[in-house]
Structure 1
Amino acid sequence: MMKKRIAIIGAGPCGLSQLSALKNDAFDLICFERQSEWGGQWLYPYQNEADSSEEYIHSSMYRQLWSNGPKELVEYVDYTFDNHFGYSTPSYQPRSVVFDYLTGRAKNKNIRKFIRFQTVVHSVNNEQDIFKVTVEDLKTNIIEELTFDFVIVAAGRYATPNIPQFQGMKQFPGLVLHSKRFHDASKFE
C-alpha cells in the first residue's frame, strides 16, 4: 500500500505541530515554508538576509516584542519551556525566547528533513480527491506542480496587511506605517 502524501503549508508553531504528530512511516510528508527558517510569526525576518524580500516576509514581528500570552497556554504538552531551558522560566517571554523554544522542540522532534525552506505555495487545487499544489523554489525560481492526498494549511493569518485609505493620506508629509512594517523602534528615538 502506498503512503498517503501530505503537504503542510507553513513551518510556524502549527505546521511544526503537524509535522511532529504525523512524522512516521505511514505518511510521505512535505512542509513548504517561504522563509529560510522555521518559526512563523516568531521568526524575526530581518535576522536572515535570505528573508529580506518584503514580498515574502509575512511576519509582523519586531525585535523587542514580548508574548502577550503566558507560556503555560502556548507551550506544547510534550515539551515545556521549563524542560527546554532546564529551569523554571517566567510566564511571559520575549520573542527571542519563544523562537528559541520553538527551535528546540523542532530539533528535538527531528523534523527539519521534511521542510522545504524558501518555497512559496502559489496555488492548491482539488481535482477528483487529489490536491495539485503549485510551488516555487525561491532560490532557483523553479516552479513545479506536486500531487498530494491531503493538504494542511498552517500558514497563519497575518500575511497581508489591511491598510485603510484616508483622504489626504498621500499628501501627508510624515511617515505612514502599518504595524506589519514596524520592525525596530530605534529610528523613532
Structure 2
Amino acid sequence: MCSKIILYALCVLYLEISLVSALDLTKTHISNPRVCIIGAGLAGLTSAKYLKEEGIKFVVLESTRYVGGTWRYDSRVGYDENGLPLHTSMYMHLRTNLPKPTMELRGFPLPDDIPSFPSWKIYYNYIKDYAKHFDLERDIKFLHNVILVSRVNDIWNVKYQNVLTGEEFEDEFDFVIVGTGHFSKPNMPNIPGEEKFSGSIIHSHDYRDPIRYKGRRVLVVGAGPSGMDIAIDVAYAAKTLVHSHHSKINFRTVFPKHYIRKPDVQEFNETGAIFKDGSYEDLDDVIYCTGFQYYYPFLDESCGLNLTPQSVTPLYKYMVNIYQPTMLVMGLVVRACLVVALDAQSRYATALIKGNFTLPPKEEMLEEWQKRADSIISRGRPISDIHFLAEKEDEYYAELTKESGIGRVPPVMFKIRAIDTEAKLENLYTYRNYAYTVIDNENFVRSLDNITENNSGNNL
C-alpha cells in the first residue's frame, strides 16, 4: 500500500512540475470559441444540443456512421466493416437497469407508453429521435476517427481520419469535449491457466445472446450490474450457471437451483476452474463481466492528464481537465444516474464555454481534487473510486448549479435511484416491474401490481 501511495504522489508531482508553466485559462473568456466534440453517443449529442442552442460553433467527430454510441446493438463482435473496434456492449435482451425518469434527456420527454425499464431498442430509437428533433446530425462528421489530440501553442490540435478513404485532416479548436465514454475497452482479469482451458472465454463486451449457451455449463465472473444481469440472462438457457465473485453486497434474490455461487477463480485447467476455496467445477464456457478500462489512446502527454486503465486524473468536478481546463472529459462518473449526469455535465460545459462563469484558480481545483483522492487512499480504496458519486450524487448536481448557474437536477432523481437500488437488492428478477412517476422536484410515486407507494415507502 505504501508503494502505491508513493507512486501515486509522484505521478501528481510530475504533472504539477511538467505543467506549471501552462497557460491558466480558468479566468480567460474566449470570444467566438470553436469546439471539437469527440463521439456522437449521449455525451456528444447532449453537448452538441446545448452548444447549438447557444450559437457556439462546434463539430462532432464520430468514427462510425451512427449516433448513439454504445446504445446501438450490433450482432457482430470484434471489429466493424471498416476495421475499427466495435464500441457497443449491448446484448439482445438488455433492458435499462435504471427506471424511465432517470433515463430521460432534458427537454425531450420519453414517450408515456414505453415500459418503465425500456429495452435497448426502444431507448436507442429515443436517442435517434433526439438527434433528429434537435437537428444535430448536420454538425456530425460521421466516419471520421480521431487519431491525436494535442496542445500546441495554447490551442487544441486535433488530427482525424476519414475511415473510408484514409485521408487525414488537422483542425484547431479552443475547446475539446471528450465524449467517447468508458464502456468499450474490456478489462480482462488474466487468470492463470486460461490458455489451458478448452472451452470459450469472452468478455461481457462481446456477449450478445444466451442461446449459444443452451444446455451448457457456464461460468460468469463478476457481480457488477452487467455481471448480475448477464448471469440471470444466461441462467435461462444454461444447464449450470456458476457465478464467481467477491462482492460484499447483500443480494437477497433467490436464484434457481442450477445457479452455483463461488468465490474468485484461482486457476483454470483444461476442463474447468478451481476456486479459491479449493472447490472445482467442470465448465464449457466463461464470460468475464469484469468491467472496462479507461481508454483514450488519442490523447497525448500535452493534454496534461494522467491516464491509466483504472482512472483519469486530475479532474475538477469529475470532468474538467485541471491542467488544461479547456478540455472536458464527460461521463466518467460511476454509481449515478448516468444519463442525468451527462446532461448536467453538458450544460455545465456549455456554460463554461460560453463564458457564463469562470473556474477557480488551478490551485483551488487541485486542492478539491486532492481532498477526494486523499479520502479514498486513507480508506484503503483504489484510486478508481475517484470517479464514484454514489451517495454524493445529488450534492454533485447542486454544486454544478451553484458554480455555473445551470438548471438544478431535481433531487427526486437521486431519490428514485436510491429506492431502485433497494429493489435490486431485494429481487433482481422483479425490480423492473416497478414504475416510477415523478410528482415534483422532490417526490415520486412507485407502483407495482396496482399498489402505489410514495417515496417514503408508505401506501397511498
TM norm structure 1? 0.88
The reply to whether residue 27 of structure 1 matches residue 56 of structure 2 is: yes
**3-state secondary structure, aligned to 1:56:** coil
Q: Is the 8 A contact 1:64 1:94 kept in 2?
A: yes
**Rounded Cα–Cα distance in structure 2 between residues aligned with 1:108 and 1:184:** 32
Aligned residue in 1 for 2:70: 41
What SS does the corresponding residue of 1:77 show, helix, strand or coil? coil
Using the alignment, how far apart are the partners of 2:53 and 2:32 within structure 1? 10
In structure 2, what is the equivalent of residue 175 of structure 1?
200
Range that drifts further, 160-169 or 23-32: 23-32
**Percent of aligned positions that are identical:** 30
Alignment of 1:62-81 (within 5 A): 62-81=91-110
Distance 1:37 1:123 in 2: 21
**Would you say the 8 A contact 1:46–1:52 is kept in 2?**
no
Work out which of the residue numbers 10, 18, 27 in structure 1 matches 2:47: 18
Give, as a single letter, the amino acid of the residue that structure 2 aligns with 1:93: P
Question: 2:142 pairs with 97, 110, 117, which one?
Answer: 117
Contact 2:82 / 2:164 at 8 angstroms: preserved in 1? no
Superposition deviation, residue 101 in structure 1: 0.5
CA shift at 1:31, angstroms?
0.4
Task: Extract unaligned runs of 5+ from structure 1.
Answer: none
Residue number among 149, 165, 169 corresponding to 1:144 in the alignment = 169
The letter for the 2-side match of 1:77 is R
User: 1:64: Cα distance to partner?
Assistant: 1.7
- The equivalent of 2:131 in structure 1 is 106
Q: Contact conserved, 2:51 with 2:57, CA < 8 A, in 1?
A: no
Larger radius of gyration: 2
1:55 Cα shift? 3.6
Tell me if structure 1 keeps the 8 A contact 2:72–2:88.
yes
CA drift of 1:40 comes to: 1.1
Could you tell me how far 1:23 is from its partner in structure 2? 1.1
Q: Is the 8 A contact 1:9 1:155 kept in 2?
A: yes
Cα distance in 2 for residues equivalent to 1:104 and 1:95: 14
Find the aligned partners of 2:184 and 2:213 in 1 and give their Cα distance: 25
What is the distance in 1 between the residues matched to 2:136 and 2:211? 36
Q: In structure 2, what is the Cα distance between the partners aligned to 1:93 and 1:67? A: 6
The amino acid of 1:154's aligned partner reads G
For residues 36 and 103 of structure 2, the distance between their equivalents in structure 1, rounded to whole angstroms, comes to: 24
SS at match of 1:16: helix
Select 1:131's aligned residue among 156, 159, 173. 156
Equivalent residue of 2:172, what SS? Answer: strand
Aligned residues of 1:59 and 1:159 also touching (Cα < 8 A):
yes
Shift of 1:10: 0.9
Report the residue type matching 2:36 in the other structure.
A
Pick aligned residue for 1:159 from 173, 178, 184: 184
Greater RCO (Cα-Cα under 8 Å, separation 6 or more): 1
Whether the 8 Å CA contact 2:40–2:69 is kept in 1: the answer is yes
1:77 deviates by: 2.2
* C-alpha spacing 1:54/1:74, structure 2 compared with 1 (3 Å): farther
**CA deviations over 1:5-52 (Å, ceiling 9, x no partner):** 1100111111100111011574221101112100011111348xx944
Q: Which runs of 4+ in 1 moved over 6 A?
A: none
Cα 1:137–1:46, aligned 2, differ >3 Å: closer, same or farther?
A: farther
User: Residues of 2 paired with 1:94 and 1:25: CA distance?
Assistant: 33
CA contact (8 A) 1:35 1:57 kept: no
Q: Deviations 1:81-140 (Å, cap 9, x if unpaired)?
A: 12xxxx433210000000000111110000101111122111111123210011111111
Mapped contact 1:36–1:51 kept (Cα < 8 A): no
The 8 Å contact of residues 82 and 163 in structure 2, kept in 1 or not, is answered as: no
- RMSD value, Cα: 2.1
Moved more, 22-31 or 135-144: 22-31
Q: State the distance in 1 between where 2:74 and 2:83 align.
A: 10
Does the 8 A contact of 1:45 with 1:51 survive in 2?
Answer: no
In structure 1, what is the Cα distance between the partners aligned to 2:125 and 2:116?
Answer: 15
Q: Specify the SS of the correspondent of 2:94.
A: coil
